[in-house]
Amino acid sequence: MGRVIYVDSAFCIYLVEHPGERGRRARELIDADEEFAISPLVVMECLVKPLREADPVLEDDYRATLGEFRLLDIAVSAYERAARLRAATGVKTPDAIHWATASIHGCAEVWTADAQFAAKSSGFAIDQFRGLP
């Protein structure tokens, strides 16, 4: 097993919902010889749409996909680190929590679909969809 990669909610949404090029890219990346991790924040953010739309098929798709990843706890120390990251870089609160959680657990990087997060993270978050339509 290789390094541990944290995948954020934006990445997971393309992985589960996008049938086009971004979805194909996400699925190809997940086939890599890496270990992938998420946090409860990813679960929460990804379940909003299927719950709001009362779509049990989409909810099951998310639960099955997210169940394949290692689930990392979010400790109080992660929220404190997230506050520091947010203060220093201006990233959004959820992105700061993703970044802090991944770094505390020793993840090599965060894979995202959020170009702003990637730009502000000093190279820790990688926009895996840059340049794709």
CA distance 95 to 101: 10
Give residue-wise pLDDT tens across range 23-41. Answer: 999 999 998 788 999 999 9
The predicted pLDDT at position 31 comes to 84
Superfamily for the 4-127 domain: 5'-nuclease (3.40.50.1010)
pLDDT digits (tens, 9 = 90+) for 66-76: 999 999 999 99
Q: How far is it, in rounded angstroms, from Cα 51 to Cα 57?
A: 10
Q: What pTM does this model have?
A: 0.93
Give per-residue pLDDT as tens, 108-125: 999 999 999 999 999 999
Each domain of the chain, given as residue ranges in start order, spans 4-127
